[in-house]
Structure 1
Amino acid sequence: MMNYNIPSLADFKAYLEINDSSKRDSKIDIGLMDVRKHGTLENFLECEDLFVELLLNYPTTLPAELALPEVIYTVLSH
C-alpha cells in the first residue's frame, strides 16, 4: 500500500499564509483532495475546525472561490 503525505493542520495553516491567492488556493485544493482521497477520519478530524472556519469566513479573509467547493465536498464526504 502506498504511503500518502496527508496534509496536517499545520500544513493547512501554512497554506493560509501564502500571499498569492492563486497559489494559496491551489495548495488548499490539493490538500483537501489528499485528505478526502487518502486520509483517515483521524486526518479529517484534526483539521475539521479549520475546514469549518474556511466555510464560515468565505469569501472575506480565507481562500477565494476556487477552494470553497473542495472544502464543502471534503466536509460532506466525512
Structure 2
Amino acid sequence: MDRTVFNKAQLEMLDIMAGIRSEEELEALKHVISEFYARRADEELDKLWQSGEWNEQTLKELGETHYRTPYKS
C-alpha cells in the first residue's frame, strides 16, 4: 500500500478542519477559502492587464470563443 505524504499546507488544513463542529462552520470555511482563491485570480488578472498581455480585445475574443466538448454524432 502506498503511503500518503502530506505537505505543510495540507497538514495545516487538516488541523483547521479538525476544529469544524457544524455544517455552518464548514460552509463558512468553504466561503473563506473560495474568497481567497477569487482574490488571487483577481490579482493575477490585474497583473496580466497591467503588463499588456490582456486588454479589451483579449476579453472580447474570449467572450466570443466557444469551449465546448463536441458531441459524437
Do Structure 1 and Structure 2 share a fold, with TM-score over 0.5?
no
Q: TM-score, normalised by structure 2?
A: 0.30
Query: Which of these two proteins has the greater Rg computed from alpha carbons?
Result: 2
